[in-house]
């Protein structure tokens, strides 16, 4: 997403170098969405995949519609195939490996949307289906219609609420866990300058990056940085390693626009934390020490009636 929107100016040529570097180092999943830059991100990815399609599991999402009139949710079954075909065209591929419902449309039962997604699997346009930002109940409802391969949600040291409900529900159903923002929108890398916050649409509206909440979180970050340094790691690497240690079903998707960050993030996959390390981490940066509720992810929905 950050290569097309949300975190300031982007450079397509540099973005392609970043993604090629990721593939060169063994990254095997690339995650995008039709809403990222109103299709720009998928077209960018098409340039990256040219001649290298076999190296990557390609995941994209539908359901958040961004256009000149604004932002809305659309999970109507009759529109699902059209969205998938448009994504396939922009990506320049024949099949989507993992197709997510980006957000549940509050006017459409999730089971109805998933039913239309199941038809895409039947017809060979999609290999596996996923859901993003759903409740445990919605996950159950969807999986009853068609097996759900993966659920995507925010999860990191900074935001651990999914451990209460979505994570156990997904594990009970055998659904893979795909945490986005595993570096806390850059905060867990301990490299984010405070003055950069207002340059990002996503940080600017997030309470965790402002006022007393930010002050408390920065104290946690300082403690995390010191702990990581004592282990010979960068702060972000320790945060990613912690997430990877949560189970073999966890596949975090850190995003970056910088070549050096690609190398740094991938190196975290080689870090092994002992039980003693994990206990120490909980002691130094306890879950209760983070402050601020994350921004609301509700997308304004234009008034409409179902046909």
Query: What tens digit of pLDDT does each residue of 223-252 get?
Result: 999 999 999 999 999 999 999 999 999 999
Question: What's this model's pTM, rounded to 2 decimal places?
Answer: 0.90
- Amino acid 198: pLDDT: 64
Residue tagged 């600017």 (tokens): 204
Look at residue 299 and tell me whether its pLDDT is greater than 90.
Answer: no
Q: What is the mean pLDDT of the chain?
A: 91
Query: In this predicted structure, what is the pLDDT of residue 11?
Result: 86
pLDDT attached to residue 103: 96
Whether 180 is a known active-site residue: answer no
Residue tagged active-site, from 7, 36, 83, 100 = 36
Rounded to a whole number of angstroms, the distance between the first and last alpha carbons of the chain is 32
Q: For residue 298, is pLDDT > 60? A: no
Give the pLDDT confidence of 24-41 residue by residue, as tens digits: 999 999 999 999 988 999
The answer to which of 9-23, 94-108, 120-134, 233-247 has the lowest mean pLDDT is 9-23
Strands 176-180 and 70-73: unpaired
Domains belonging to the chain, first-starting first, are 12-289 (3.20.20.100)
Give the model confidence (pLDDT) of 138-184 as tens digits. Answer: 999 999 999 999 999 999 999 999 999 999 999 999 999 999 999 99
User: 187: closest CA among 211, 163, 218, 162?
Assistant: 218
What confidence tier does 7 reach under pLDDT thresholds 50, 70, 90? low
pLDDT class of 200 with cuts at 50, 70, 90: low
Q: How far is CA 223 from CA 148, 186, 239, 286, in A?
A: 38, 16, 12, 10
> Residue 38: phi, psi to the nearest 5?
55, 45
Out of 115-129, 176-190, 207-221, 236-250, least confident range: 207-221
């Amino acid at each position: 997403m950050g290569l097309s929107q949300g975190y300031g100016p982007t450079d397509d040529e540099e973005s392609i170098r970043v993604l090629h570097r990721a593939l060169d180092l063994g990254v095997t999943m690339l995650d995008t969405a039709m809403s990222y830059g109103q299709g720009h991100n998928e077209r960018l990815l098409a340039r990256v995949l040219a001649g290298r399609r076999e190296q990557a599991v390609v995941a994209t999402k539908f359901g958040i519609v961004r256009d000149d009139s604004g932002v809305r949710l659309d999970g109507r079954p009759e529109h699902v195939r059209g969205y998938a075909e448009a994504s396939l065209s922009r990506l320049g591929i024949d099949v989507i490996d993992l197709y997510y419902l980006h957000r549940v449309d509050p006017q459409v039962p999730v089971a109805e949307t998933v039913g239309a997604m199941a038809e895409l699997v039947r017809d060979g346009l999609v290999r596996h289906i996923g859901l993003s930002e759903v409740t445990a109940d919605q996950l159950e409802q969807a999986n009853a219609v068609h097996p759900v391969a993966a659920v995507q949600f925010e999860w990191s040291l900074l935001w651990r609420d999914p451990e209460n409900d979505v994570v156990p529900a997904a594990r009970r159903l055998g659904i893979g866990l795909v945490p986005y923002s595993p570096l806390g929108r850059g905060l867990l890398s301990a490299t984010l300058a405070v003055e950069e916050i207002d340059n990002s649409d996503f940080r600017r509206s997030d309470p965790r990056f402002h006022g007393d909440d930010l002050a408390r979180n920065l104290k946690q970050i300082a403690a995390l940085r010191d702990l990581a340094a004592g282990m010979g790691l960068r702060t972000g690497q320790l945060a990613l390693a912690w997430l990877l240690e949560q189970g073999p079903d966890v596949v975090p998707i850190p995003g970056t626009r910088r070549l050096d960050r690609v190398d740094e993030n991938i190196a975290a996959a080689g870090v092994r934390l002992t039980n003693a390390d994990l206990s120490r981490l909980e002691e130094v940066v306890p879950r209760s020490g983070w402050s601020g509720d994350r921004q609301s992810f509700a997308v304004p929905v234009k008034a409409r009636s179902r046909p």
